[in-house]
Chain A
Amino acid sequence: MEMSGANALVEALRREKTQVVFGLPGGVIMPVYDVFYKMKDLPPELAIRNILVRHEQSAAHMADGYARASGRVGVCMSTSGPGATNLVTGIATAFMDSSPIIAITGQVARPFIGKDAFQETDIIGVVTSVTKYAFQPRKASEIPQMVKAAFRIATTRRPGPVVIDIPKDVQQEMGVVEFTDQPVPRRYGPLPDPEPGTVGRMVDALAKAKTPLIIAGGGVRIAEASRELVALAELLMCPVATSLMGKGCIPEDHPLSIGVMGMHGPSETNRIVSSADVLLIVGSRLSDRTTGNIDKFCPNSQILHVDTDKAEIAKNKTPTISLVSDARKALKALHTGLVKRLAREPKSHWFQKAKNDIDLCDLQKDGPYLSAVHAIRLLRKLLPREAIVTTEVGQNQMWSAVHFQAYGPRQFITSGGLGTMGFGFPAALGAKVACPETPVVDIAGDGSFAMTENAMATSIEEQIPVTVVVLNNRMLGMVAQWHRLFYGRRYCGVELGRSPCFPKLAEAYGAVGVAVQDYKELSEAVKSALANEVTTVIDVPISPEEDATPMLAPGAGLEEAVIA
């Protein structure tokens, strides 16, 4: 059928079941927005919702939050040049955490490409290192198959971002386009089933293990393998530690969950990991933040590594046995193999979990400040089990990782790999769009929130209510903590001061702003925020001296002395 490139794009997106696009228009993406305009009269189930951001970085983070909360592809859109480069931080964030997003950028018209035309940036060149793939259709007729391929690449094997860069005249030109819903046989397809011989050897190692342990990474969440993970852990009676990205893959109040391991993990958790004789690592790339000093990481343990990305095998740590497989299929196969083996010789519980209780009934303030740790634990008590929490980056993130128990795999959303400050708030909005019935809370620091707070305008205008809890120490807290620990308190460039007043800022946007003075007020503020129909910003004064502990010094191994 004959249609314009812009129409072909939107129709192709709709065929991929895209319901929402986060973006901000500009010169060379206007033909696509013109198609959105014409969708206004369509019933909502047929139209694509177009959410206007105030900065393109937020569009990419929203698409990412949407993807992480729902498991579906998040789509963001911008014009060429600065619009496209503003997306890059968000694209890189999604890349590091294997999140499937598609970024559609306008490009200058074909005759201008390479001529340094107004707002021309070679965005494909810019994003090559932080995308799985980047397309540039040169004819309208190429668009449908490229969109189909983009969705396929973004979601196949290890997910990640894909860019589609469309010259303006390709959006405008009429072309004969064909849509097919048939999957085309392509080389870049799903992985084959786990290799039975390797599974057998892993089963054997796990069956013989005295003190087995599972490390679950983000791959478990991506593969929707939480049930299989818990089933295998229960069969082995073994503890499950997670990386930051795997947090919530096993409900953290499960007796076998020992929480998030690594640089800021509880020392008890790291100690249990270090005493395992057989480590089954599923869907984790064993980043330096997870393992501590890799040369000192479990030197005497057998390492069984399962990952969907073969380039992760032996990248950081050489395993005893490796299996390139989807996490869910692998966990299922291991379970099936072990059921037979362990029926005769069941496993027993071998570890002592640290007590994780703090009495929250009668919290008292220490001076003018609340404790971030207590505030986060109180927040957990106040939120329903299914609530989704996002975090910013820094102390707020590490406090949340340790003290906010996550009960489900898509309920703790954080920028782990790239560590992008300003991620949490727009990601919370994206998550809320994906799950409108679920309460969504961004646990923020004052430094991070300031980076993307203008997304409040989107949250108000588009009616996407979330709660932001700003743990406000008027500092770039994690950097200040490093100054205290490793730089002799020589604070440089970390003191943010009293500006802005976040509650007043929230009010300026039309959101609700609350400054709380004690835990009782915090409780009330959170309760009313959950009932509010607009976004609520709760300012929680915390001490600039409160550290995110425990902490391994950089270069230390998991078992070494921690800074407590």
Chain B
Amino acid sequence: MISPQEEVIIDVLVDHKPGVLCTVSNLFRRRGFNISNVAIGTSEKDRVARMTLTMRGGEKEAVQLVRHLENLVDVIKAEIVDAGKAVVRELALVKIAPKPEDRLQIMSFVDVYRAKIVHLSDDSIIVEASGDSDKIDAFIELSRNFGLKEVARTGITALSREQKSTESEGNDVGW
């Protein structure tokens, strides 16, 4: 049972074509679903894109959203991700402009978070961090003490560990 305010992750496979993101996001707006995150990219099939949505509102609303999504012609399938049985990740790029004396300390906490320094110059560092959202949040909070400048996050993506839900059926377009 998911509590009413808990975040629910929904895995959506859609036909990969122009306008599909607009159609799907229009549904949230029109029906008033509270979506906190959308990540979209290609999938294992050429003509199929995978969207990972994160919504706030609990299970009953999530079930309703899944049904509305599945009514869209361009949606191949939509399902709630059981976070306990899935790999859930988010990636963040964090730009920090530290004082020279802090640089060493940053390197050590980057290590603790299993993050990576992907850019290093005289006046700034970009760190790539990935993991669940709580970890990213914590990393960003910590960075505030060391001259945090900019953050770019991908949003949550997830894949079920079970075999069945990761496969998109067919290459047939909806219509």
Contact = CB atoms under 8 A, between A and B. Distances in A.
A129 B73 contact: no
Nearest to B69: A311
A315 B63 CA distance: 10
Contacts of A187: 76, 170, 172-174
A160 to B, nearest CB: 10
Interface in A104-144: 124-125, 128-129, 132-133
A310 interface: yes
B154 to A, nearest CB: 26
Contacts of B60: 314
Interface in A170-228: 185-188
Contacts of B76: 187
Contacts of B173: 186-187
Contact of B175 (A124, A153, A310, A311): A153
Nearest to A309: B71
Contacts of B144: none
Contacts of A185: 172
A320 to B, nearest CB: 16
B36 interface: no
A130 B26 CA distance: 11
A313 B64 CA distance: 9
B56 interface: no
B71 A153 contact: no
Interface residues of A, number: 20
A124 B26 contact: no
B32 to A, nearest CB: 12
B26 A186 contact: no
A310 B70 CA distance: 9
Contacts of B112: none
A152 interface: yes
Interface in B102-131: none
B153 interface: no
Given A149-B175, A187-B170, A188-B174, A311 B67 contact: yes
A133, A187, A315 — most chain B CB neighbours (10 Å): A187
A151 to B, nearest CB: 10
Nearest to B175: A149
Interface in B69-113: 70-71, 73, 76
Contacts of A311: 64, 67-68, 70-71
Given A187-B170, A310-B67, A313-B67, A133 B175 contact: yes
What secondary structure prevails in chain B residues at the interface with A?
Answer: helix
A323 B109 CA distance: 55
Nearest to B30: A129
Interface in B46-70: 60, 63-64, 67-68, 70
Contacts of B26: 128-129
Interface in B128-175: 170, 172-175
Interface string A236-257: 0000000000000000000000
B166 to A, nearest CB: 18
Contacts of B64: 311, 314-315
B22 interface: yes
A132 B27 CA distance: 12
Interface string A306-330: 0001110111000000000000000
Most buried by A among B19, B30, B70, B71: B71
Nearest to B169: A187
B3 interface: no
A243 to B, nearest CB: 20
A129 B64 CA distance: 17
Nearest to B29: A129
A153 B175 CA distance: 7
A299 B68 CA distance: 26
Given A186-B174, A187-B172, A133 B73 contact: yes
Interface in B1-58: 19, 22-23, 26, 30
A124 B19 contact: yes
Interface string A398-431: 0000000000000000000000000000000000
Contact of B22 (A128, A186, A313): A128
Contact of A188 (B19, B68, B175): B175
A186 B172 contact: yes
B68 A153 contact: no
Contacts of B23: 128
A188 B14 CA distance: 13
A310 B173 CA distance: 21
A516 to B, nearest CB: 46
Contacts of B174: 186-188
A470 B128 CA distance: 71
B72 to A, nearest CB: 9
A128 B19 CA distance: 10
Given A152-B175, A187-B76, 20 more contacts: A124-B19, A128-B22, A128-B23, A129-B26, A129-B30, A132-B73, A133-B73, A133-B175, A186-B172, A186-B173, A186-B174, A187-B174, A188-B73, A188-B174, A188-B175, A309-B71, A311-B64, A311-B67, A311-B71, A315-B64
21 contacts: A125-B22, A128-B22, A129-B30, A133-B175, A146-B175, A153-B73, A153-B175, A185-B172, A186-B172, A186-B173, A186-B175, A187-B170, A187-B174, A188-B73, A188-B175, A309-B71, A310-B67, A310-B71, A311-B68, A313-B67, A314-B63
